[in-house]
Homo-oligomer: A and B are copies of this chain.
């Protein structure tokens, strides 16, 4: 055999663009091949007990194998009035925190035979509403709200008791609703204790919009604990980064932080905000964490590589998926229907272990 370039090990006949989509086998064909009715095939596939003898079962499974039969999701959903799809509504996949949690949720769903429809909502009520309607049209198994905002359809969904799980941020309406997240109050309190132990003088706070319960909890708990320790008149300047984006934080840091009197301690309610603040700090010649201790929230795994100067509260990303799936299943399990509505996951305080300094950017070199 002459040696050939080996990259595509298996070669396929050239695709015929006009080849008809060989329509997949239906339950009818399986039934015919196995010599039983479609009812029996359905029962075998769905493991209905006492409805098929071992011999029949075997014949059906053999036919399924032969035809490589896959039940049509549409047929099933139409009849059962329920699909195996779970919608995940996330503010922004560009945010590592949301992307990681979505990833964790997807893996956990897959283990249950469910699939994830993922949508960016941009924290926009209209987009959130459009997607909630879409989820209804899909008759989803459940909806996961990663960073919900108030919106009419969300209200509607709550009223009709649709299977809804809120992640991280709690439900923006005052009704009982399932929730998965960390204990932001305790975490922020521990951060306050740590920062107080390092810098008794006070700390600056850069926070995301307070419409989010997570941001609120983090800010108020931090303030309360710090003032408990340092006295009520302790300065805790509060800067509202009106988005949750690093560039907004960067711009705000520019107007608030100057090299002559930099804050010795900075508490940011998310890592993203910390990145923006830190960028400015580096650009005015500060050295972190020597000149300022900066604390974030979320614990992006990338920090170890790119932001060793950042202390943060790490969320247990991999636990979110299973917890969300449990919360969804509870909607269909009579016995758990009124179980606990909150799933509080453990967090971890990560202290900066790297001393990293930056100088002002040089002029870009010409190509």
Contact = CB atoms under 8 A, between A and B. Distances in A.
Interface of A: 7-19, 21-24, 70-75, 77-78, 81, 83, 85, 92-94, 96, 99-100, 102-103, 106-107, 110, 115-120, 130, 133-134, 136-139, 150, 155, 158-162, 172-177, 190, 194, 216, 246, 250, 275-276, 278-279, 282, 301-302, 304-308, 337-338, 349, 351, 353-359, 361-365, 367
Contacts of A92: 103
B117 A115 contact: yes
A2 to B, nearest CB: 17
Nearest to A137: B70
A155 B99 contact: no
B353 A356 contact: no
Indicate how many identical chains form the complex: 2
Given A19-B161, A100-B94, A139 B8 contact: no
Contact of A194 (B155, B159, B367): B367
A7 B216 CA distance: 10
A279 B305 contact: yes
A312 to B, nearest CB: 13
Contact of A355 (B275, B306, B353, B362): B362
Contacts of A362: 353-355
